[in-house]
Homo-oligomer: A and B are copies of this chain.
Amino acid sequence: MLTLCVRNVLFRSFPSQSSSDAVQLTVRPCSSSRAQEEDLHQTRTLLRLCVDRYFLSPGEANMELFRRGMSCRYGPLGTELRRNLLEQWWHSVSRTTAQVFGINTLSSSSGDTATGAPRKLNIVENEHIKQILEEKEVSKDLLIQKIQVLLQRSPTGRTSCLQGALEQFVPSLELVNRKLPFGLAETGLCFQPSGGSGCPGEVTRASLVWFCSARASSQWLDHWTRQRLKWWRKFALSPSDFSSSDVPEEELEKAASRGVRIIYSFPWGRRRWRRCGTEETLSCCGHTEEIAPMCSFVFQCRDGRKSVPHVISVTANVDRGALAFLSNSLQTLKKEDSRQRLQQRKVLKLHPVLAPVKVALDIGRGASVELRQVCEGLLKEFMEAKISTWPGYLETSAGQLNTKYDEMGVLFTVVVNENTLESGLLQVRSRDTTVRETMHISEIKKFLSRYITAADNV
């Protein structure tokens, strides 16, 4: 069997069919005049697939949020993908060195923060503002004053995790024996000011704030850039689509001396997509005193010297990361079926660790009651082993299963049939090779666990 694949291939809407053996490829170079139309088409194909295959909840507004790399309503598969992504980020940042500690601060902080972070978003209670607006005997000036006091007292929604980590610097000193460098990691909800549209959004950020000496800060920035780029590439189908580039000086934030962006080049619409932001941003924020002038960060090291730490901020956008990996893993293959008709096969080749569903369980021919019991037993076994499983045997529609599972990124499809009842043998189909193997029922769990672990350790 020959299976070739190509990225950036121009495709039309052929009706999807189940896999066959003969594979043929057509690559057409994109002409610049048609590029825009194609951009739109490719974007739509990805978003359509995400909605059809339970990654995203339907709705134009929801799809638009997702496309812009913001938090949105995710279906079961999108939820699981994001969970896997967050888990991997957390593990790679906070659990591979002894110097990084996880923290959890608040998404909204009441009153003025100690670090003097700018107030962009206020969380106000309807009840309170209503009371003020309904007061009759109040002049306009007093009304304005009352609203201003209410706003001043109301909590502020955070736009990044940086401020929370800065506030935890002093309490964390004891943890690290008053020694630089060390880091504080946090993942969580941040708000995103609307920039004029009037409707602020949400974004899930994964943040590492690294405190180090001024002398070593540039080296640390390089270190973390290498580490983080390696991480993105580890899970990518085509690693070279993820790259790093320096932030131009004019785009650096105040007090920052250097910045690096990790960017995923979307195969379609590079211009349009890139404008939406970056997958991960690393920056030398500068001395803590400059970033948070209202706090004192001067501390005495164990050896008696005084030190003011430098801050490096590493911030990933998890929602945009999920979009990047979905886009990167979508392969479109053209092939001829046995009757020489051209067909299209879409496969979401998500990394085994990220794939939201590792295995689907289905019923082939045979006595359905007994087969269902076998499926239920396997489902229980897989779930206990924390192997995420799709209960395909509960669905009635048997047709086009491989097409569906390929678009869901399901790693393996296990089919239980009458043969299983007699000999204990199952059919196992691989998403990546489309090969069907026969395996004994007693071996399948171990096989799946090993496959996933092996992919994680590469």
Contact = CB atoms under 8 A, between A and B. Distances in A.
Interface of A: 54, 57-58, 71-76, 78-80, 82-83, 91, 95-96, 98, 101-108, 110-111, 119-129, 133, 139-140, 143-144, 147-148, 150-151, 153-155, 157, 164, 167-168, 171-172, 175-177, 179, 186, 188-189, 191, 193-194, 198-200, 202, 302, 379, 383, 386, 388-389, 391, 394-396
Given A121-B124, A144-B133, A74 B57 contact: no
B106 A76 contact: no
13 contacts: A58-B171, A73-B105, A74-B104, A75-B103, A75-B171, A76-B101, A98-B389, A106-B202, A119-B126, A123-B123, A125-B198, A140-B140, A177-B394
A253 to B, nearest CB: 19
A121 B121 contact: no
Nearest to A150: B198
A199 B103 contact: no
Question: Which secondary structure dominates where chain A touches chain B?
Answer: mixed
Nearest to A380: B96
A175 to B, nearest CB: 6
Contact of A191 (B54, B123, B198, B396): B123
A120 B127 contact: yes
Contacts of A96: 383
Contact of A122 (B103, B106, B126, B389): B126
Contacts of A302: 396
A104 to B, nearest CB: 4
A267 to B, nearest CB: 26
Contacts of A186: 79
A107 B76 contact: no
Nearest to A148: B133
Given A76-B103, A78-B104, 12 more contacts: A73-B167, A83-B102, A95-B386, A107-B107, A122-B125, A122-B126, A127-B193, A133-B144, A140-B143, A147-B147, A177-B394, A177-B396
Given A127-B193, A143-B140, A200 B155 contact: yes
A89 to B, nearest CB: 13
Contacts of A391: 98
> Which residue, A83, A91, A106, A186, has most C-beta atoms of chain B within 10 A?
A106
B177 A395 contact: yes
A112 to B, nearest CB: 13
Nearest to A109: B73
Nearest to A56: B171
A231 to B, nearest CB: 15
B128 A198 contact: yes
A110 B302 CA distance: 51
Contacts of A104: 73-74, 78-79, 82
Contacts of A58: 171
A389 B97 CA distance: 10
A302 B302 CA distance: 71
Contacts of A119: 126
A372 B311 CA distance: 28
Contacts of A74: 103-105
